[in-house]
């Protein structure tokens, strides 16, 4: 027993040593090309077994410090290149990229890494500071660099408007996400209006007319989806009242719990919920469970994005596939040909979303009521 405990303690100590050493080397910029040494080399360096190396790497992956690309190696997140490259792709993201808010963006970025030929292309992740003044300083400094061959912006690009309009940046720029009237960047997005229409139409086809929407904020893709749901409800003669529209943030389970509880305290609670994305849908799952409500028996739930985690949820989530993995790979193709595209700022490509039917939606249940005589009657 003592020997086993001692071995376990020693293995844990070795793991911490390997983890701390790699984390320090990464933070000091020791791996200039962004590539982590092979497992065999690390095993020799630390004189430890393969399992210890893999456990240390898994911890760094969980912390989003490194990424492992099958058949290509292990790399520092956001600093991936091999040898001399022909194209430097700089991906500008908000600081929320590393939080639960942006699971969709992280899926797109991982798809870019998986599709990248690192002998020809480098991908650098540029995280914008939250503070507006620091963000302006950061953008000013970065755009003075000649290292950017192709710039990708995840989400709204309003902060960068001045730099492009004044001609401080002469390389092609691609904005990814719900299009905004920026006028200086090409756009790659999904047909958001169609996505909203697909979701509400499917729920209505199952018999739902009391449909709620739970979003993160009132802007971008969420606003477009709400507009479509309102329009569809009017056209098909059912109500979509303001109290059915809730904005509760992206990563605050308590707010989602409170919002869901209010929905089911209404005189006519919803029989279905459209979540702004799959991640929020997962939080709605937990909120409904807290209310002792079952999916889909008591309430159907549908999301957007088709992220991996909710494919394996219980029940598996019905969702609208926003082609995130395809978009990630498509960015690489666009970057390769961007130089040959005249007036790239006019480039506009919109992908069609697709309904993925799983197990989280069903026809609304008919409730049982008690008549004056005490006999049970079925009512809608």
Q: What is the DSSP letter of 192?
A: H
Query: What is 192-322+355-365's CATH superfamily?
Result: Response regulator (3.40.50.2300)
Where, residue-wise, is CATH 3.40.50.2300 in the chain?
A: 79-190+326-352, 192-322+355-365
- The structure tokens 């911890």 sit at 59
Rg (CA), the chain: 25
Which fold would CATH assign to domain 79-190+326-352? Rossmann fold (3.40.50)
Which value, to the nearest 10 degrees, does the dihedral of the CA atoms of residues 178, 116, 340, 148 take? Answer: 80
The pair phi, psi for residue 36, each rounded to 5°, is -85, 140
Rounded Cα distance between 276 and 305, Å, is 9
List CB contacts of 212: < 8 A, sequence separation 6 or more: 244, 245, 246, 263, 270, 272, 273, 274
Measured at the alpha carbon of residue 201, what is the angle toward residues 199 and 207, in degrees to the nearest 5?
A: 110
Closest listed residue to residue 43, CA positions, set 34, 33, 53, 35: 53
pLDDT in tens, the chain (380 residues): 444 444 545 555 788 888 888 887 776 667 756 778 888 888 888 888 899 899 988 888 888 788 877 777 888 876 555 445 578 898 988 877 765 555 788 889 989 988 988 778 888 888 888 787 887 777 777 766 667 789 898 987 666 666 665 555 678 889 998 666 556 788 999 998 899 999 999 999 999 999 999 987 776 678 889 999 999 999 999 999 999 999 987 778 999 999 999 999 999 999 999 999 999 999 999 999 999 999 999 999 999 999 988 999 999 999 999 999 999 999 999 998 887 787 888 899 999 999 999 999 999 997 644 333 344 444 43
pTM for this entry: 0.73
> Residue ranges of the alpha helices (H) in the chain?
2-27, 39-46, 50-62, 103-115, 132-142, 161-165, 192-205, 220-235, 253-263, 278-290, 308-311, 324-337
């Amino acid at each position: 027993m003592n020997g086993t405990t001692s071995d376990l303690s020693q293995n844990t100590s070795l793991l911490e040593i390997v983890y701390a050493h790699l984390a320090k080397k990464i933070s000091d910029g020791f791996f200039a090309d962004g590539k982590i040494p092979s497992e065999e080399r690390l095993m020799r360096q630390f004189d430890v077994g393969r399992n210890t190396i893999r456990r240390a790497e898994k911890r760094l992956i969980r912390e989003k410090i490194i990424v492992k690309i099958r058949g290509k190696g292990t790399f520092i997140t956001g600093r991936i290149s091999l040898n001399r490259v022909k194209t430097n792709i700089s991906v500008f993201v908000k600081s929320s990229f590393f939080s639960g808010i942006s699971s969709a963006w992280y899926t797109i970025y991982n798809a870019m890494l998986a599709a990248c030929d690192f002998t020809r292309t480098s991908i650098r992740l540029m995280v914008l500071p939250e503070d507006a003044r620091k963000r302006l300083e950061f953008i000013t400094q970065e755009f003075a660099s000649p290292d950017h061959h192709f710039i990708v912006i995840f989400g709204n690009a309003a902060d960068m408007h001045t730099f492009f309009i004044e001609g401080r940046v002469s390389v092609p720029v691609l904005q990814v996400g719900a299009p905004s009237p920026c006028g200086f960047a090409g756009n790659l997005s999904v047909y958001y209006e169609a996505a909203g229409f697909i979701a509400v139409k499917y729920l209505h086809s199952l018999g739902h007319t009391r449909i709620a929407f739970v979003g993160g904020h009132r802007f971008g893709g969420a606003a477009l989806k709400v507009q479509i749901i309102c329009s569809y409800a009017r056209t098909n003669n059912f109500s979509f009242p303001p109290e059915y529209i809730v904005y509760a943030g992206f990563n605050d389970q308590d707010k989602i719990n409170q919002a869901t509880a209010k929905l089911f305290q209404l005189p006519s609670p919803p029989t279905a919920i459209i979540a702004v994305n799959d991640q929020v849908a997962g939080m709605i799952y937990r909120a409904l469970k807290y209310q002792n409500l079952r999916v889909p028996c008591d309430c159907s739930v549908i999301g957007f994005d088709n992220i991996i985690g909710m494919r394996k949820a219980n029940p598996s989530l019905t969702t609208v596939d926003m082609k995130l993995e395809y978009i990630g790979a498509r960015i690489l193709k666009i970057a390769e040909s961007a130089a040959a595209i005249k007036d790239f700022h006019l480039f506009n490509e919109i992908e069609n979303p697709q309904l993925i039917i799983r197990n989280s939606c069903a026809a609304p249940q008919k409730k049982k009521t008690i008549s004056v005589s005490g006999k049970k009657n079925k009512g809608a």
